[in-house]
Amino acid sequence: MLYLDTHVVVWLYEKDEARLAGRPMELIEENDLLVSPIVLLELEYLYETKRIAEIGRVIVDELAERVQLRVCPRAFVDVIRRAAGIRWTRDPFDRIVTAQAALLDAMLLTKDGDIHTHYPNAVWQ
C-alpha cells in the first residue's frame, strides 16, 4: 500500500515521466495506490489558482481508471485526530496527508523534504 502526496498525483496525471523516473515509478507500479480525501481539496485549490488545468475529481477519476488509484475510505475523524498531533508543519494538507498514511504505518510517496524529515515511511529515492 502506497499513499501519494498531491504533487505526485499531479505528475502522474500529467504523465510527467521525468519527475517520476526511477524508484518513484517502481513504487507506483508495485503497490496499491491510495490518496487521502484531502488531496481532492488540495487539487481544487491548485485548479482555482491556475496551477493545474483540471479539477481534482477529473484527475482522481482518470487515475482510478489508469492506475487503480483509490481514495482512502478510512474515517476522516480518525485522520484528523492523528493530524492534530503533528506539530512540525502548519500546512494542513501536509498534516492530513501524512496522518492518513501514518494511521496504517504505510509508505507515503512524496518529494517534500519536511515530510521526509518527520515521517519515517516517506519514500522517494
Confidence (pLDDT) at 120 = 97
Instruction: Determine the average pLDDT of the residues in 107-122.
Output: 97
CA distance linking residue 80 with residue 102, whole number of Å: 12
20 falls in which pLDDT band (50, 70, 90)? very high
Decide: helix, strand or coil at residue 101: helix
CA distance linking residue 32 with residue 78, whole number of Å: 21
Smallest Cα–Cα separation from 9: which of 53, 37, 38, 39? 39
Judged against a pLDDT cut of 90, whether residue 85 lies above it is answered with: yes
Angle at 52 (CA atoms; ends 49, 55), nearest 5 degrees = 90
Q: Domain limits at 45?
A: 2-123
pTM for this prediction: 0.96
Instruction: Determine the average pLDDT of the residues in 54-70.
Output: 98
CA distance linking residue 36 with residue 76, whole number of Å: 9
Question: Domains in the chain: how many in total?
Answer: 1
> Which CATH number characterizes residue 17's domain?
3.40.50.1010
